[in-house]
Amino acid sequence: MADPETSWTIDLPDEAATIALAPRIQPLVGPNALVTLSGDLGAGKTTFARALVRLLTKDPALEVPSPTFTLMQVYPTDAFPVVHADLYRITDPSELAELGWEEAAEGALLIVEWAEKAGELPPDRLDIDLAMTSGRDPGRRRATITGHGVFAERVARARNIQTLLDGAGWGMAQRAFMLGDASVRAYERLTNPDGARAVLMISPPRPDGPPVRNGKPYSAIARLAEDIRPFIAVDEALRAQDLSAPAILAYDAEAGLAVLEDFGAEPVVDANGPMPERYAEATAVLAALHGRELPTELPLTGAPAYRVPPYDLDAMMIEIELVLEWYAPHVARIQLSSSARAAFINLWRPLLQQICAAPATWALRDYHSPNLIWLPEREGLHRVGVIDFQDCVMGHPAYDVVSLLQDARVTVSDDLELKLLSHYARLRRAQTPDFNMMDFARAYAALGAQRATKILGIFARLDRRDGKPHYLAHLPRVERYLAKDLNHPDLAPLRAWYETHLPRALAAQT
């Protein structure tokens, strides 16, 4: 079977366009990557290489001569070395050893002209062929970018991004990486030459993981979004409810790309923690939403309606079992017996069955400080900008309230939590006179314990499996929330199980 290969052709009307090609290529490459440059003499190979090296070194005035005579030049950067080589004068691949090629290439990004002189090329590489085009303009060039192996998907994504941006009027925008999250999503800020800003959301389809139960992967059982369509549908639905979700300026559902309104970056927290006024308004948004009749089928432009999945027993159970699989062995250093595991499941199941039987609303599932942007120029509920809701399910209204008021990344004091719970209850009673706060408080404690249990497992998994240890810093906060939730009288048998079998999860309660 041939290695995967994807090509992308770009017209370069002048030298400035050749230089501007470098920022398009930069996101595709990194350490231990090979970029091969080919094409006619005078087609701009060294011009492009110089632009890419200057971009990577963050030095726009860096002297980057052609390595025709030195053969190889090494440039340090903050992240990895960059090796620019010209192998035109190499007559045999064995000569590379004398240059110290292997030592220089280790952990480096290689930008190589006349790479074929090195012998057989690796299957994973990025080829850029620069050619002069026929016509009246002698400065016009054409770049054909071909990704081989692992670079094929990267090139396809870059091509799709540029096509989307060109069609939406953002093709000339500067792109700056904003952040990635615990999933495969990433975000870039776009700035057009006129100063207008937007956000590029890169959310490729989620690859199926291994089957874990009944032939289904974890993501399917936990009701996690498989592609960008749920985000698009829920975004439009929230805006239809007159809430501040970002306007969608353009999107490509197949490629998992969207250009979104830029809400800026003003948070609802500061150095001291939650800002009470902003948290109160975020709580009011939930109260307003939960007092409405909300549809389960959401329109999706040009596609069948999207049905919001239920937050069912299977989803909630497989989430809490993460604590058994990841937190217990890797954080608490405990190997739980099969009887302890069975008791855990048997205690949780009837508790969550009650939750599932209650009237459901949209549970956005990630309604907490990182995903709430303060919009001071707007009024009332519109001041709360909401993002990251693609995993929305039909669930109990207490879930998002506890997500906000027991924030895994920011400590919410007991006093503020109680004040905001009372605020939520007053707003709900004003809309729905028969709102029962006692029932809500019971569900709030149960879902708080469920969510904390799940997060302990997720953060341990992010550390152990995904190499993201910084999430472990939040474990004591989540453990305190769990201990507090388990103080509810209805959860006493469950608390006893944690005290007996997983006391580490309650150790941070004081």
Residue 101 has pLDDT above 90, yes or no: no
Average pLDDT, rounded, for the chain:
93
Same domain, 162 and 269: no
Orientation angle between helical segments 398-405 and 276-290, nearest 10 degrees: 170
- Rounded to whole angstroms, the Cα distance separating 233 from 237 reads 6
Question: Which residue stretches of 247-303 are H helix?
Answer: 276-290
> Alpha-carbon torsion 432, 437, 443, 444, what sign?
positive
Final residue belonging to a domain, choices 168, 189, 221: 168
Taking only the tens place, the pLDDT of each residue in 269-293 is: 999 999 999 999 999 999 999 999 9
Reduce the DSSP state of residue 408 to 3 states and report it: coil
Same domain, yes or no: 320 and 463: yes
- Could you tell me if residue 275 is inside a domain? yes
Domains in the chain, number: 2
Which of 148, 168, 188 finishes a domain?
168
Residue 260 domain flag = no
**Exposure letters 165-192 (e unless 16+ CB within 10 A, then b):** beebebeebebeeeeeeeeebbbbbbbe
Q: 393 lies in which domain range?
A: 265-506
Q: Is residue 195 part of a domain?
A: no
136 with 274, same domain: the answer is no
Domain match, 275 and 164 both = no
Kindly report the pTM of this predicted structure: 0.89
Question: In this predicted model, what pLDDT tens digit does every residue of 307-356 receive, in sequence order?
Answer: 999 999 999 999 999 999 999 999 999 999 999 999 999 999 999 999 99
- Dist. CA 191–CA 199, nearest whole Å: 9
Angle value at C-alpha 162, between 238 and 18, nearest 5 degrees: 150
Of the CA atoms within 13 Å of residue 161, those in its CB half-sphere come to 24
Q: What does the alpha-carbon distance between residue 446 and residue 432 come to, in Å, rounded to a whole number? A: 22
CATH number where 119 lies: 3.40.50.300
**What pLDDT, on the 0 to 100 scale, is given for residue 150?**
93
In a domain, 127, yes or no: yes
Residue 205 lies in a domain: no
Rounded distance, CA 121 to CA 35, Å? Answer: 11
309 DSSP assignment: P
The pLDDT, as a whole number, for residue 509 is 61
Residue 446 lies in a domain: yes
Residue bearing the bigger pLDDT, 134 or 396: 396
| Interacting residues of 458 by C-beta distance below 8 A, sequence separation 6+ | 182, 322, 326, 471
Same domain assignment for residues 280 and 148: no
The residue type at 30: G
Whether 136 shows a pLDDT value over 70: the answer reads no
> Are residues 291 and 154 part of one domain?
no
According to DSSP, residue 310 is labeled B
Residues 127 and 272 reside in one and the same domain: no
pLDDT > 70 in the chain, percent: 97
Six token digits for residue 73? 């030049």
Residues 146 and 291 in one domain: no
Residues 463/330, Cβ–Cβ less than 8 Å: yes
On whether both 366 and 498 belong to a single domain, the answer is yes
Q: Considering 150, 168, 186, which residue would you say is the last residue of a domain? A: 168
Least confident of 36-50, 158-172, 311-325: 36-50
Tokens matching residue 359: 């009237």
The CATH number that applies at residue 492 is 3.90.1200.10
Residues 501 and 355 in one domain: yes
Sign of the four-CA dihedral 382, 386, 389, 390: positive
Task: Evaluate whether 391 touches 230 at the Cβ level (below 8 Å).
Answer: yes
426-461 residue pLDDT tens: 999 999 999 999 999 999 999 999 999 999 999 999
Q: From residue 315, how far is each of 36, 107, 255, 494 by CA, in Å?
A: 47, 41, 27, 19
- The percentage of the chain sitting over the pLDDT mark of 90, rounded to a whole number, equals 81
Residue 247 lies in a domain: no
- Residue at 270 is within a domain: yes
Q: Count of CB atoms within 10 A of residue 342's CB?
A: 11
pLDDT score for 39: 87
CA dist 228 and 150 (Å) reads: 22
Q: Which string of b and e fits 344-360 if b means at least 16 CB within 10 Å?
A: beebbeebbeebbeeeb
